[in-house]
Amino acid sequence: MKAAPILTNSPRAHNPRPCYTLALVPRLECVPNVSEGRRPEVVARLIAALSGPGLALLDVSSDPDHNRSVFTLAGEPEALHAGLLSLYAAALDEIDLTRHEGVHPRVGAVDVTPFVPLAGTPIAVAVAAAERLGAALAERFDLAVYLYEAAARQPGRRRLADIRRGGFEGFPAKLADPAWEPDFGPARVHPTAGVTVVGARFFLIAWNAVLETADVAVACAIARRVRESGGGLKAVRAMGVYLASRGRAQVSMNLVDFRQTSMHAALERVRQEAAALGTRVLETEVVGLVPQEAVWEALREGLQCPVFGGERVLEERLRVPPSA
């Protein structure tokens, strides 16, 4: 039995209040990241490509500085497979990476497509979906495909950052090394669409902190102190970027396992490092969607109430939309 689409409070739902449903939860979430965030008409056409049966589009987050859009999908493996092939076809028609600029690293028109298991689904289901999609992308679009995280076939390809190092422009030189032969498809870079990365992973929280300063060097310094690779917080990856549209610097973070470092802990560390460098966090923003447990964990830490959760929230107990 196919799961019914989940009701959401996304802009497409035309309802500003959260909604609840007793529908079966789909087995997989998928979060394709596309290298386009400046042309609304193109993003609209990409959304239209994701209108297949059994496919729930839960959120679209676009950013002009990163020049990137993140689509959050949910569905059964078959529905996701069909929708993603349509998305790739549309993206390859619309996006030319030789003309693409943005502060976010990228190697492909559809840069990365991770599958995430939902509701107790085994990670093997997400890995199988990634492998099937990778094979289909190579056959249909002649794309070089790299598998990462739980789907990786080589230890050196588990981390997305390692695959993406050098970017689209640097990938031809990378392919000169036989060690970088793709998992699927030709050992060459598509002239306008680059390569693509497909995988299976745990929930990732893309979370950005906008600083009061416009000095990107400050943001980069904070990112170095916060991320795990710099001796900072576990399961945190971070970089500093400049947001031209806002005239501010930003610490862009990926929390790859909120069970090891919570949203609250990450923000507190960024605040501390910012203060030490003479600036402060003005606001934060979430890209895409966040697992409910990650929100409860942040509230528990922020409120210093270890047992705080849905059982203490009126609407959660009633399971009805909150009052307007």
Tokens, residue 191: 């002239």
128 and 57 belong to one structural domain: yes
pLDDT (tens digit per residue) in 102-157: 999 999 999 999 999 998 899 999 999 999 999 999 999 999 999 999 999 999 99
Same domain, 47 and 167: yes
Q: What angle do CA 308, 309, 314 make, to 5 degrees?
A: 110
Distance CA 125, CA 26 (A): 12
In a domain, 319, yes or no: no
Confirm whether 147 is domain-assigned.
yes
Q: What is the pLDDT of residues 46-62, one digit of tens each?
A: 999 998 899 999 999 99
Strands 55-63 and 68-75: antiparallel
- If phi > 0 it is left, if psi is from -120 to 50 it is alpha, else beta; for residue 238 that is beta
Q: Which of 238, 316, 291 is nearest to 25 (CA)?
A: 291
Asked whether residue 224 carries a pLDDT value surpassing 70, the answer given is: yes
pLDDT value at position 192? 97
Residues 42-72: b if buried by 16+ CB within 10 A, e if exposed: bbeebbebbebebbbbbbbbbbebbbbbbbb
What one-character DSSP code corresponds to residue 194? B
2 belongs to a structural domain: no
Domain match, 189 and 211 both: no
CATH no. for residue 241? 3.30.70.670
Give the span between the Cα atoms of 33 and 27, in whole angstroms: 20
User: By residue range, what is the domain housing residue 221?
Assistant: 205-312
Strand partners, 29: 74, 116
What's the mean per-residue pLDDT of the chain? 91
Do 136 and 101 lie in one domain? The reply is yes
List the structure tokens of 309: 């959760």
Q: Rounded to 5 degrees, what angle do the CA atoms 294, 118, 131 make?
A: 120
Q: Which of 152, 177, 200 is the last residue of a domain?
A: 200
232 and 193 together in one domain = no
Helix residue ranges, H only, the chain: 40-48, 77-94, 123-141, 160-164, 167-174, 216-226, 263-276, 292-303, 314-318
165 plus 242 within the same structural domain: no
DSSP codes of every residue in 256-318: S-TTTS-HHHHHHHHHHHHHHTT--EEEEEEES---HHHHHHHHHHHHT-TT-SGGG-HHHHH
Q: Which two tokens stand for residue 65?
A: 């500085």
Q: Of the listed 66, 81, 100, 104, which one is catalytic?
A: 104
What confidence score (pLDDT) does residue 166 get?
95
Give the pLDDT band of residue 321 (cuts 50, 70, 90).
low
Residue 323, pLDDT > 60, answer: no
Domain count, the chain: 2
> How many other C-beta atoms can be found within 10 angstroms of the C-beta atom of residue 16?
9
Shared domain for 103 and 23, answered yes or no, is yes
Assess if residue 1 is contained within a domain. Answer: no
Residues 229 and 264 reside in one and the same domain:
yes
d(CA 2, CA 255): 31
In a domain, 323, yes or no: no
Domain shared by 186 and 76, yes or no: yes
Catalytic site residue 190?
no
* 173 in the same domain as 227: no
Residues 224 and 128 in one domain: no
In a domain, 318, yes or no: no
Q: Given 167, 200, 233, which residue is the final one in a domain?
A: 200
What pLDDT score does 5 carry?
A: 36
Contact indicator for 46, 33 with CB cutoff of 8 Å = no
The verdict on 64 and 176 lying in the same domain is yes
Please identify, among 139, 165, 200, the residue that sits at the C-terminal boundary of a domain. 200
Least confident of 16-25, 176-185, 253-262: 16-25
Residue 138 gets which letter from DSSP?
H
Give residue 68's pLDDT band: very low, low, confident or very high (50, 70, 90).
very high
Is residue 3 situated within a structural domain?
no
What CATH number has the domain bearing residue 20? 3.30.990.10
Termini Cα distance of the chain: 35
